A = this chain, B = another copy of it.
Amino acid sequence: MNVQAAQTWQSVQEEVLRRIHAREWKPGDLIPNEAELAKDFGCARSTVNRALRSLAERGLLERRRRAGTRVAAQPVAKATLNIAVIRHEVEDRGARYGYQLALREARVAPTHISAALGVGVQDRLLHVMALHLSDDAPYALEDRWINSVHVPDALEQDFRSISANEWLLQSVPYTRGEISFAAIPASAENAKHLNCPENSAVLAINRLTWDHDHSVTAVQVLFAPGHQMRTQI
């Protein structure tokens, strides 16, 4: 059982993974504690800790003080999607990026927007719609409301050459956010912008971000039909 000279936390992690995959440690099993594993592997406990903590973050182990470490019975796959600035997303695919501002207005928002942003129903907010292009083809439609009560600087931007997407990330920090993914049928207006038939299935990402207790922005990004988001697990 004793293993020699596993000196890096990665090698410890690999050996632990091997034991899990080889079913030496089965789903639901309690594995030896950190001190024992350190002795087995001939390394410091902190090295074992680093390896196991990382596996727990990936969902393969479940750790609890006093109760010990178990192999996850049904590991939850964690798919991490990188939501970058849309311009970079396009350029990283090797395409030419284009940008068209479709609408910019300061007005009273629909109630579901003002409620989500936590502002008064009569507050005027900045509304921006813009089309992002990839090699001149519609790539994504951005429909954004900015809480200009707490981000007054936004009112001074015309968003003609820089997208609100990019300007906000550069200029306004946020501390937390919610994000959701859904498939929705394209409305007539959305379809016109995206140059696709009405009711086409489009991938929609909704984001709502906050800076401490103040909302920053609510945005819906619609991707042209056929768009895929990919990642490794």
Contacts and interface: CB of A to CB of B under 8 A. Distances in A.
Interface of A: 17, 20-21, 23, 27, 59, 73-85, 88, 166, 169-170, 173, 175-185, 199-204, 207, 209, 211, 223, 225-233
Q: Label chain A's interface by main secondary structure.
A: strand
B85 A74 contact: yes
Contacts of A203: 181-183, 203
B233 A176 contact: yes
A223 B85 CA distance: 28
Contact of A233 (B85, B178, B183): B178
Given A74-B85, A78-B81, A183 B180 contact: no
A199 B226 CA distance: 14
A182 B83 contact: no
Nearest to A201: B201
Contacts of A207: 77, 233
A12 B134 CA distance: 41
A172 to B, nearest CB: 10
